[in-house]
Amino acid sequence: MRVIGISLSIAIALALGCNSQRGDHQKDSAQLQMEGKDTTLEGSIGVVRYLYPQHDTSGVLPILNQDGTVWKKFRFMEQTPLPDSLHPFAFGVDYPLMVFKCTRVDNDYYEIIVNESNLKKRIRKSEGYHFEPWAEHVLHVSSVGFDPSENPIRQHPDAAADTLDFDANESYYPEKIDNDWMQIKWGEEGKWEYGWVRWKNEHKMLIELLYID
């Protein structure tokens, strides 16, 4: 199953205070809020996501300062907007989804970026979070969006390869990574069509990650 952790419909409450063409599967911002508008990958090595619903959602989960003191705590209880100081890379309200950019991993902690000002905090590995390098994470979303005028579908992972037609009514599913290229598929079971798009250019992401299809 491609959808990451959306089988349980719960929302997140705080205890302490890439434009692309995606066809007809536009997402309701009240259900899935995609942060990280700058699409930059610079300074991050991947993402840390919370594993729903394998872990208890009734407790309070802390985000820590660099010295180990508590910066914020959040609880899975009821719908409450996140404060301005906390902007995960991806965040679900009606669907349980929280993803942070990760800058460093050590024995006990993940260092994460908590907002668009690149503020760095820490979370304990034991709190139910899981690290994924970017090349792994982009394959675990439900589908991807991209701008076919700037990033056309190609037959092979080569900028000189022939292009394939883009259908705005299709969903495009990630298949595998070849350096900066991503193989995608579309269509239906038994009749899949395949092509390639660029998923990044150096430190900039060129696709939109769609966690719910």
Q: Can you tell me the distance from the alpha carbon of 31 to that of 43, in angstroms, rounded to the nearest whole number?
A: 29
Per-residue confidence (pLDDT) for residue 20, from 0 to 100 = 44
Same domain, 153 and 204: yes
Cα 121 from chain centroid (whole Å)? 18
- Are 71 and 118 found together in one domain? yes
Q: Output the pTM of the full model.
A: 0.79
Residues 154 and 60 in one domain: no
Domain termination residue (choose one: 107, 137, 167): 137
Closest CA relative to residue 208, chosen from 119, 197, 97: 197
Same domain, 20 and 119: yes
Number of domains in the chain: 2
Greatest C-alpha distance within the chain: 55
- Beta-carbon contacts of 37 under 8 Å, excluding residues fewer than 6 positions away, are 18, 116
Please state, in angstroms and rounded to a whole number, the distance separating the CA atoms of residues 138 and 136: 6
Domain, as residue range, for 203: 143-210
Same domain, 127 and 170: no
Per-residue pLDDT of the chain (213 residues; tens, 9 = 90+): 343 333 222 233 333 334 444 444 433 332 343 443 458 899 999 999 887 655 555 556 789 999 999 998 876 544 456 777 888 898 876 667 789 999 999 999 999 999 888 899 999 987 678 999 999 999 999 999 999 999 999 999 999 999 999 999 999 999 999 999 999 999 999 999 999 999 999 899 999 999 887
Q: Which amino acid is at 60?
A: V
Does one domain contain both 115 and 30? Answer: yes
Q: What residues pair up with 122 in beta bridges, in sequence order?
A: 64, 111
102 and 83, same domain (yes or no): yes
Domain check: are 55 and 132 in the same one?
yes
Same domain assignment for residues 133 and 158: no
Among the listed residues 69, 49, 181, 178, the one whose alpha carbon sits nearest the alpha carbon of residue 121? 69
33 lies in a domain? yes
